[in-house]
Each structure stands twice: as structure tokens, then as C-alpha cells.
Structure 1
Amino acid sequence: MAQETLQLLVAMHRIVRHLRRTRTTTVLHPTQFLALMLIADEQPIRIGEIAARVPCSQPTATTTVAALESAGLARREQDPVDGRATAVVLTDAGRDMVDASGRQAAEELAKLLRRLDDDDRELVLRAGSVLSRLADGL
């Protein structure tokens, strides 16, 4: 099993690297991109939660959110649950970037998947939901 898990890890990294290289809709650092996608899914979200879920350190999350704010992709607002805290939400430009990046990444991955036969493609797509549940539990 160790060899199979290593093979899966290496393959996932290679595919993600390929998708990052082909992405033209964003020039964000990978941590910024992950944070932006997380904000889109969970907004409003506190910086501490971003740090825990990306994962990265709290200072890195703070710097990342500041960079996203400077780029006009996110903004801090008063937390609706605790008015003493702040939460991060997407701006319209951030939503546009998430939408465009998601479409482009899906199109690039679809190109890769077309190289597989129907059975293997179906297997990979089914594994995607399992891997998503695994990632959600991190």
C-alpha cells in the first residue's frame, strides 16, 4: 500500500502543477489562490479559519488576505456573528476570478481526462468525490 499511496501523491502533485502552469486567469501565489477559493466557499470567514484550512500560519494568512485586499479580490468586514471580530469576503472582482479560474482549471482537467478510456475516466471522477470528503475532514 505504501507504494500505491506514494504513486497517488506524486500523480496528484504533477497534475496540480500542470494545472497551475496552464492557468492564465490569475497570477496569484498558490497560497493566495487556495485562500481565495476557500473564502468563496465559506464566506464570511475569519483569518484564523483560513490559516487552519489552507493550511498555513496565522501570520501567513494575514499577509495573504492583505495581498488579496490590495488586489481588490477580498475585503474584511465586521463578523456577523461576533461584531468585535472581522471576517473576509470576496469582492465582485474576487468572485469573477474564482469563476474564471474554476472554469479554466475544469477545462484543463477535462482535457487530461479525455486521454483516459471511459472506465478509467469514470473511476477518476468517482474518486474525486471521495478525495473531496477526505480533504474536507482535514
Structure 2
Amino acid sequence: MSADEALHVVIAMHRLMRRLRRTGHNGTVHPTQLIVLALLNQYGPLRIGEIARRVPCSQPTATTVVAGLRSAGFVDREADPTDGRATRVAATPTGLAVLRSLAHGEAEVLATLMAELPEDDARLVIAAGPVLDTLADLPAHDEAPLPRT
């Protein structure tokens, strides 16, 4: 894939995500907070550093995002069972309910849009989901691969 082809994909993904966010929910949760809730739902409790790597963002940004989620009652901190000095962040039932609500809103918008596509194209979009997950978890050149759980 050339850089120009990759740029086209990046722009298309940004435009689609912007459209889904705009029409899928009311903006009560920042997009980065939504990503963190989705990660906690998918992987279970994570340390702040792991959240920062998976979002990806800086560790101070992850700390700020988690603080906002915690003040809203969407996440809690818990002791890390492998290291008593460390804590992990876990989604609360309220946080998971918010995630489901927002994700379903965006998924409904996507499903409506995909209904306008030819069936083969819609299947391609669905098949791309796991590939996009893999791309999102690939390490930067200077870091170790993220564990697949």
C-alpha cells in the first residue's frame, strides 16, 4: 500500500468516525473516554500505563481521562493482584452501561449507513473489524507488542 492509499483510508476512517460520533450520541463522554471504557470492557482491569499504550496517548493524558471517568462513576481503581504497590482501573457497571448505550447508538448509525451499500461491500466492512483491531494493537517501532487477551 502506498502512502497516498493509506492517507485515503485514514481520511475516510476519520470522516466516518466523526459522523458516527456526531449522530450516535449526545457527547456526554469524550471520544478518548469512550475508547478507555471499550478497552476496559475488552481486556478487563488495566494499569494506567497499559491504557496509555493501548489508546494510544501519553500517560498524563490517560491519567486525566481516567480521573474524569472516575469522577463520573464510570471507573474505579483496584489493587493490582500481581503488584501490591500498583493499581488497576476497572469499569464500573455504570461505565459499562454507558459504553453499551453509546456504542449501540453509533452501531445503529453505522448499520443504517451500511444498509445503503451493496451486500458484498457491507461484508467487507464487517470483515475489516478484526483487521483494524490488529492494526490498532501493533506496537510503535520503539515498543514491545501489546499482549492479545
Normalising to structure 1: TM-score of the pair?
Answer: 0.92
User: How many angstroms apart in 2 are the aligned matches of 1:25 and 1:75?
Assistant: 24
CA apart distance, 1:14:
0.4
The residue that corresponds to 2:78 in the other structure is: 77
Confirm or deny that 1:87 pairs with 2:88.
yes
CA apart distance, 1:42:
1.7
Q: What is the percentage of aligned positions where both structures have the same residue?
A: 51
For residue 9 of structure 2, what is the amino acid of its counterpart?
L
For residue 135 of structure 1, what is the amino acid of its counterpart?
A
- The number of equivalent residue pairs is 138
Equivalence map 1:12-51=2 (5 Å): 12-24=13-25, 26-51=27-52
List structure 1 runs of 4+ shifted beyond 4 angstroms. Answer: none
The 3-state SS of whatever aligns with 2:82 is coil
The residue that corresponds to 2:143 in the other structure is: none
The residue that corresponds to 1:124 in the other structure is: 125
CA apart distance, 1:80:
1.6
CA apart distance, 1:95:
1.1
**Contact kept? 2:24, 2:108, Cα under 8 Å:** no
**Contact kept? 2:75, 2:89, Cα under 8 Å:** yes
Contiguous gaps of at least 5 residues in structure 2: 140-149
The residue that corresponds to 1:101 in the other structure is: 102
CA apart distance, 1:25:
5.7
The 3-state SS of whatever aligns with 2:128 is helix
Contiguous gaps of at least 5 residues in structure 1: none
For residue 111 of structure 2, what is the amino acid of its counterpart?
A
**Contact kept? 1:25, 1:100, Cα under 8 Å:** no
The residue that corresponds to 1:54 in the other structure is: 55
